[in-house]
Amino acid sequence: MLDLVKPTTLLLNDVAPFIQKQGGTVGLPTPIPRLTLWTSTMATSPTPAVFEPMFYAVLRGTKVLIMGANRFELTAGASAVSSFGLPYSHQLTGAKPNLPYVGISLHLDAGILSRAMLDIPKREDRWTCAVAAGGLEGPVGEAFARLVGLLNAPEDIGALAPHYEFELYYRLLQSSMGDTLRQVSQRNGRFQQLKSAADWLASNHSEPINIPDLATSSHMSVTSFHRHFKEVTGFSPLAFQRHIRLLEARKLLAGGSTNVSRVAYEVGYKSPSQFSREYKNMFGSAPVADLQR
């Protein structure tokens, strides 16, 4: 238990000066590259987004991540890694003004991670989900605390942050989350074929989806492609594309688009009524209401 409490306490102490007097739900960029602090003085409803390749740690409160069929409930001292961008919803529970939620995210640097992989014994790539959860106990928490501790020594960030980040990746690769993290730098195999399919769906979300073509490009049968795609991402290919389309639609509405039907067609829907129905199911409000707001 002491191993779990110590890094969490150290991390909370390090970030306390940066999150004090922050109200609502806030993401705070830091001087450490790709490191963001997250705090909230209130519980939140499920919010759809994209979980980029990152390491995420919860220091106080609870964060629930839902990625299709996969659900992760991260409490204080828990962490998660993702090997590529996945649509998901996240929800904070139990956050209060006198006891705010606190979390930290670190977007992964593929170059540093690849160098860390060279320094650990080679092992066979394992077939695993693109998201994994673990804890901050032991070497992982100690390495992360050293990196985050640089917030209080900004003059040292340029010289030491790359080394501390390297150490964190090294420790993560040796942890229970290592198989998922290792997938970021894999160049061959079934995982990369599925990642390529997911990347295509994300980049071409407005295009009609052709499952047989995606399966062929992944060197799988249609049945095998469906099964393995869901094992890795938590979504069927159609559900994956639908989530990406709706997230893009919300961006367009927030950016000042003046016509809901136009947005529906732009993200790939052929029926504005179906778009409105699926949008409301995902976000809890109709697109026209979000447009007006």
Per-domain residue ranges for the chain?
2-185, 190-292
Domain 190-292 has CATH 1.10.10.60: yes
How far is Cα 101 from Cα 91, in angstroms, rounded to an integer? Answer: 11
pLDDT band for position 180 (50/70/90)?
Answer: confident
- Cα torsion 139, 88, 47, 259 to 10°: value is 140
**For the chain, what percentages of helix, strand and coil (3-state, to nearest 5) are there?**
50, 20, 30
Q: Which CATH superfamily is domain 2-185 in?
A: Jelly Rolls (2.60.120.10)
Q: Tell me, what's the pLDDT at 122?
A: 66
How far is Cα 160 from Cα 146, in angstroms, rounded to an integer? Answer: 10
Segment 257-265 shows an average pLDDT of 86
Average pLDDT, the chain: 88
Percent of the chain topping pLDDT 70? 94
Q: What is the pTM of this model?
A: 0.82
| pLDDT over threshold 60, residue 187 | no
Yes or no: say if 242 and 264 are a contact pair by the CB < 8 Å rule: no
| pLDDT over threshold 60, residue 2 | no
pLDDT digits (tens, 9 = 90+) for 15-70: 999 988 788 889 999 999 999 999 999 999 888 888 888 999 999 999 999 988 88
